[in-house]
Amino acid sequence: MKMLIGGEWKTAASGGEMEVINPATWEKVGVVPQGGQDDVGAAVDAASEACSGWAALPPVERGKILFRTAALVREEVGRLAAMLVAEQGKPLREATDEVRGFAHVLEYYAGLSSSLYGESINTRLYGRIIVEKRPLGVCAGIIPWNMPVMIAGWKIGPALTAGNTMVLKPASTTPLTTLAIGDLFLKAGLPAGVLNIVTGPGETVGEALVTHPEVRKVSFTGEIGTGRHVAETAAQTMKHVSLELGGSDPMIVCDDADLEVAAAGAAAGRFYNCGQTCTAVKRVYVFSEVAERFRELLTEKTRAFTIGNGMEKRVRMGPLNNAAGLERIEAVVEDVRDEAEILTGGTRPEGKGFFYEPTLLAGLPADAPVLSEEVFGPVLPVVEVEDLDEAVEAANSTRYGLGASIWTKDLGRAERGCQDLEAGIVWVNQHIKVPPETPFGGVKWSGTGRENGVHALERYTEEKALLIRP
Ligand code: NAD
């Protein structure tokens, strides 16, 4: 496949290429250009040229193009989902949900296209102030590999609806489905240059986008370390920056919770996407009165996860996406093997593919790194607590603040969780789901800014004040 620059499909200026492999089989599933600084320059030029025409279109016309793209994506969901399984590894059902979710996000923003209102303030003293919401210009979207299609939608949807143009950089291991969707945007009538997709490594393509003076906003999703570097670099050219970073979401299970439902929620919330979700359940704090029963139920549900190639119907968990991720998970488990109780899992199946068994840990010391750092794979620690005070304190004890959940039938406890858990999103009796209406992002080190909702649309505009004196 080639890169999308200025409405045309291009190879890299250097001629370089990168292979994409299937994480379940290690077979090559595609080859894409290894872009560099010149390709980013060409893409930003194309996006700059397209800016004024796209911003001048009636918003409802911009919305129609997004609606048409969403319809084409829905028509092609089978092909796109299979492509996503091949490059990312997740089970077909999850890939299908992700592709449909992308279409849903586009539809949501297309529906909002005529709703970007300004303001009017009559000062009487100095006349009337009109506040217009103007697009920012060229925006860069930098995407991780875990939910490559959905997260691209979270950036493209609001950016284009608000009248911006965009250069998107997919992660190196998952560029294929994004490029295929780029083609559907063109088929839906998106003018050349409004959306450009440049493939290549973060250190070159990502870096070139973040340093380019014509780029007015960087919307970054990825690890904290990369995010911090992106923020520092983008500050040199005064860009708007939004950072959607890592999480270590706690789940609190109170003694009055429906334990069957909570155990199913913990297993689904952790092992979805092989544990590689920013808002996965990453730590469970369960009241000691019900801890034994909860562990039994969770162990039973975890053992029911069949792992394998995501294209096989019976499979509920695919491989990790890449070798580095698998090595990190193996190291996390080895680190605690002697002190923790491994309730199930803890090994890597033999053979090809970056597979690791869904793993439950108990009996960990309070200072175990697995309880304070983000673990991006299928490993879930379960910790006993005496009461809600202890649970909330432990839940808030990390530098992360993306999501958190509390499982209880008691409204007072639910309210306490909503108020006191330090997170951008708190779920009650559920975890992980983020519909497009939800403003989504973290507090503390989990990032700045919000995606989704009308809130993201606002963040792709800036106010221009007009003072009019008759
Ligand atoms: P990563 O930081 O390694 O890479 C993310 C993207 O940044 C990739 O496209 C990469 O090529 C690019 N990149 C790398 N170096 C760069 C540089 N110097 N300049 C610009 N771009 C650069 O993250 P990852 O491993 O792909 O993703 C996993 C992480 O993403 C996890 O921490 C996860 O929690 C986080 N995440 C957060 C959210 C959220 O919304 N908060 C959503 C999904 C994933």
What are the φ/ψ torsions at residue 11 (nearest 5 degrees)? Answer: -85, 170
Is 436 inside any structural domain? no
Residue 204 lies in a domain: yes
Tokens 């250097």 appear where?
Answer: 14
- Largest distance between two CA atoms of the chain: 79
Q: Which residue's CA lies nearest to atom 40 of ligand 1?
A: 244
278 is catalytic: yes
Q: Is the CB of 205 under 6 A from ligand 1?
A: no
385: nearest Cα among 304, 269, 294, 468: 294
Q: Is the residue at 319 inside a domain? A: yes
The answer on 139 and 21 residing in a single domain is yes
255 alpha carbon, distance to own chain's centre: 32
Residue 438 lies in a domain: no
Beta-ladder partners of 244: 221, 447
Express each pLDDT in 46-74 by its tens digit: 999 999 999 999 999 999 999 999 999 99
Mark whether 145 and 44 lie in a shared domain.
yes
Confidence of residue 470 (pLDDT cuts 50, 70, 90): confident
Over the stretch 4-56, which tens digit does the pLDDT of each residue have? 999 999 999 999 999 999 999 999 999 999 999 999 999 999 999 999 999 99
Quick check: helix, strand or coil at residue 282? coil
> Is the minimum distance from the CB of 193 to ligand 1 under 6 angstroms?
no
* Cα–ligand 1 centroid distance for 226 (angstroms): 7
Give distance in angstroms: CA of 441 to centre of ligand 1. 14
Whether ligand 1 lies within 6 angstroms of the CB of 221 is answered as yes
Asked whether the predicted pLDDT for residue 468 surpasses 90, the reply is no
Residue 133 and residue 162 in contact, taking contact as beta carbons nearer than 8 Å? yes
163 and 290 in a single domain? The answer is no
Our answer on whether the CB atom of 143 is closer than 6 Å to any ligand 1 atom is yes
Write the single-letter amino acid at 266: A
pTM: 0.97
Could you report the per-residue pLDDT of 387-426, keeping only the tens digit for each?
Answer: 999 999 999 999 999 999 999 999 999 999 999 999 999 9
Count Cα neighbours of 152 within 13 Å in the Cβ-side half-sphere: 30
Q: What is the pLDDT of residues 165-180, one digit of tens each?
A: 999 999 999 999 999 9
- Is residue 337 included in any domain, yes or no? yes
Beta bridge partners of 197: 4, 168
Determine how β-strand 215-221 pairs with β-strand 138-142: parallel
pLDDT at 70: 98
Q: How confident is the model at residue 469 (pLDDT cuts 50, 70, 90)?
A: confident
Asked whether the predicted pLDDT for residue 247 surpasses 80, the reply is yes
267 in the same domain as 141: no
CATH at 309? 3.40.309.10
* 350, HSE (Cβ side, Cα atoms, 13 Å): 0
Domain count along the chain: 2
Does ligand 1 lie within 6 Å of residue 376's CB atom?
yes
Burial pattern 433-468, b for ≥16 Cβ within 10 A else e, equals: ebebeebbbbebbbbebbbbbebbbbbbbbeeeeee
Report the distance separating Cα 397 and Cα 448, nearest Å.
Answer: 19
If 0-12 CB within 10 Å is exposed, 13-18 middle and 19+ buried, where does residue 311 land?
Answer: middle
Q: Which of 87, 278, 357, 451 is catalytic?
A: 278
| pLDDT for the residue 366 | 87
Show the domain range for 288.
250-428
- pLDDT, one tens digit per residue, over 364-396 is 998 899 999 999 999 999 999 999 999 999 999
Active site annotation includes 289: no
For CA atoms 236, 238, 239, 244, give the dihedral sign: positive
Whether residues 64 and 183 share a domain: the answer is yes
Among 196, 166, 171, residue whose Cα is nearest residue 183: 196
Question: Using only C-alpha atoms, what is the Rg of the chain?
Answer: 23
Structure tokens at 281: 């359940």
The one catalytic residue in 94, 107, 244, 357 is: 244
Q: Are residues 205 and 348 in the same domain?
A: no
Both 137 and 212 in one domain: the answer is yes
Q: What is the pLDDT at residue 233?
A: 98
Q: What is the residue with the minimal CA distance to atom 12 of ligand 1?
A: 202
**Whether residue 336 has its Cβ less than 6 Å from ligand 1:** no
Mean pLDDT of all residues in 232-238: 98
Q: Are residues 47 and 164 in the same domain?
A: yes
Assess whether 231 and 281 both reside in one domain.
no
Whether 345 shows a pLDDT value over 90: the answer reads yes
**CA trace torsion 214, 201, 193, 163 (10° rounding):** -60
Residue 194: which CATH number? 3.40.605.10
DSSP code, position 190: P
Asked if 354 and 373 count as a contact pair (C-beta separation under 8 A), the reply is no
Look over the chain and give the mean of its residue pLDDT values, rounded to a whole number: 97
Same domain, 193 and 79: yes
Average pLDDT over residues 294-305: 98
pLDDT greater than 80 at residue 80: yes
Q: Is the model's pLDDT at 344 over the cut of 90?
A: yes
Do 391 and 330 reside in the same domain of the chain? yes
> What was the pLDDT predicted at 348?
97
Residue 433 lies in a domain: no
